[in-house]
Structure 1
Amino acid sequence: MDRPAKRAKFEAAWERVRDELIAHVVSKSMPPDAVEWYRNNLDYNVPGGKLNRGIAVVDTAEILKGAALDDDEYHKAAILGWGVELLQAFFLVSDDIMDSTTTRRGQPSWHHAQGIGMIALNDAIMLESTIYYLLKKHFRDTPYYVDLLELFHDTTFQTEMGQLIDLITAPEDHVDLSKFSLDRYRLIVTFKTAYYSFYLPVALAMLMSGVPTSYTLDGRTIEPYKVARSILLPLGEYFQIQDDFLDFSAPPEVLGKVGTDVINNKCSWCVNTALVLATPSQRAVLDDNYGRKDAAAEARVKEVFEAVGVREQYAKYEADVHRRLVEKIAVIPEGAERGTLKREIFTTFLEKIYQRTM
């Protein structure tokens, strides 16, 4: 099935999930205006993105099964996938409030939409709480129900820790590059992005597919969730570094948007790499111009990026991380048994990301 067809099928599953959620709040005697508000919250914030995280749950479940999912299996995987998308929506609505972001996905941020305002805080909490209603309804009788709960709770907390580090390191209204470092950047990226964007979808599919915490294959003891983390967290870091580099280097007509990391004081890989390589005079330019809402200041920062060789550093990094990930994936022993890891899970992710341009 090609990507548009996969997306269409996954979106059709959302309609079923959304209608189920609406029926639930109606059953709780919520008044019609509150039901309509909740419906708008769901439709505005959940299904409009790329849906890569949610669809990854379905894709991973199919790879682990080694065949197409039947209708019941697909519905369960899609519910978990939409759980990831609900978590993403919760993060984005909250993040847009914290960052005073005015637009999201080509439309006003939820708290800037007509008549919403700070009710968006409660709406964000409702988006997160919705996940646990779906898990209780559809998975409470499964042996992995508690594992699902813990995985969502742990991932949410990890992401929130990453957000905290990011916010106190690089507040938009106060630039202090002395707080920046590549070590802190990697910590932010691992907690804020890699866990929920890469590990969570795969781990959910593994739980649903009956992958145990350990098994023996060809005389080796495999701990599949640890193996998955060891690949997916570096993969998530690579994805974010790539995103940061494209924000600096890709023209808007290719990227699909105008890069804003420099003017918004983002603790990005590019500036952290430049800080390591800069001469004292170049560092002074960065200190004086980074995070300013000024096109000329932004241009001066990017001139430093070019001068210190950020493009060359990225090319070296990308080649190295690709080699290391390929090596990690290659040592996963594969068997025909259901419930064991498959290299294809990770090669599929890597192929989608490697040398992307947008």
Structure 2
Amino acid sequence: MLRTLIIGLGHSGAGLHLTVLRKLRAARQWDAAFDQAPVVAVDPRAHAITVGPDVRVAASIAEAAELLDPARTVVHVCTPPTVRLELLRELAGLGFRNIIVEKPVTTDLATLAAILNLAYAEGLRLAVVAPWLASSLTARLVDLVTTGGMGTLRAIEIHQSKPRMGRSLATDGHPTAFDIEPPHSLGVCLRLAGAARLADARLSDMTIGSTVIPNMGSAELVLHHGTATSRIVSELVSPVRERRIELDFDRGHVIGHYPGSGDDHYAHLHVAADGRQATREIFPDDALTAYVRDTYRGFLRGEDFRTELAIGSQVVELIAEAKDLCLTGAEAARVS
């Protein structure tokens, strides 16, 4: 069994990871990967957060290492992506090796290279949070692509919309809208259509009354794969939530909806193939729970997660290229 250390008790750490862990730990009779000892957490704001009796708050990572056996512990790194490198160095120095990192791994190529060098030098098993890759909907989409019943995949269109004004005003841990939702969908595009090159990118500001938050309004990516083109649109000032994916094949069209929030874990799939009656399905899709469960099992089996890390790295590289394309032009316009 594995113990748990959560670093960062914000939206991801307390709202998502801890919630999922409680669900999985409660189902111990079906899964022995999760030790029932209290979760250990580190967060400078922990004194102001209600965590419950199943969580023990440590004052520092060093203190947490004294409460745990690092070799039998999974660390959930739920800090902003801009402050990961030094944290990973500290964890490695204390003997922690099994680490789940919230997406994206980081936000720039230089830091990505340093993190990869650290992981290989220290033998870190870095699993980048990718619930959409563990999603039941994604699995069905992969089957549709690989079985070839509708011909070759030609296009992927993904729309990710949600209202994120309050969190954008309160925090600055994510530099642009590219760093919020696109890492989820970009991984799916790479899984479905293979390696990609960036064709175009757009970025806009978030405007709330007289307040402007640069580069946090919307983001768009266009990618060229071997036989398909992907387009991802993320809107952070939308009044509604939507996570929609559409696939165009030679002989069919598919529309899928990922669960829009954590309170209703169901996905929708509509398949229209030439010569066949269209089908519609609704099915359970608790992707983050499945991802955490499978990752703990992988740590127990000794997996190194290099394939997943490679996808996470490609996501950072493509987003960095998109930022460069958008922000370089924006800076030039300001100077002129």
Could you state the TM-score of these two structures normalised by the residue count of structure 2?
0.29
RCO higher in structure (CA 8 A, sep ≥6): 2
Larger strand proportion, structure 1 or 2?
A: 2
Could you state the TM-score of these two structures normalised by the residue count of structure 1?
0.28
Q: Higher Cα Rg: structure 1 or 2?
A: 1
Larger helix proportion, structure 1 or 2?
A: 1
